[in-house]
Amino acid sequence: MLVPDSIDLEQLIFDIVEYQREDDLLTFMRLMADRLVHVVVEAEGSPTSLQPGTVYITSDTNQLKIRAVEVPGHGNWSYACTEPSMLPEGGLYAAFPGSTSC
């Protein structure tokens, strides 16, 4: 099944959570396969080539700690986005293929 270019990613994520339809999840997985997912990472243990404000593409040998915050009553959450322009300024960032995130 092809994924139309006109899919609203935000709406699709809402539909997955709200309606829990398997077709929506499968569409999301196909949509993410060709995208990079950007995350904020902790400096400790990160490669020295990872510099503030730049995107680092991970490899199989990397072991990075994704920055998480605890949301009371809802566990630990991490910030992730598919557009580098949506990252907060000045932090350490890593990107990995969306196909590995699903």
pTM here is: 0.67
Stated as kind and residue range, the H or E segment containing 31 is: helix 22-32
Q: Where are the domains of the chain?
A: 1-32, 34-100
| pLDDT tens figures, 4-54 | 567 888 899 899 999 999 999 999 888 888 888 888 888 888 888 888 777
| pLDDT tens figures, 64-86 | 888 898 999 989 998 888 888 88
The side-by-side arrangement of strands in the sheet containing 36-40 is: 55-57, 93-97, 36-40, 80-81
Concatenate the DSSP letters of all residues of 34-56 into one string: TSEEEEEB-STT--TT--TTSEE
According to the model, what pLDDT value does residue 21 have?
Answer: 94
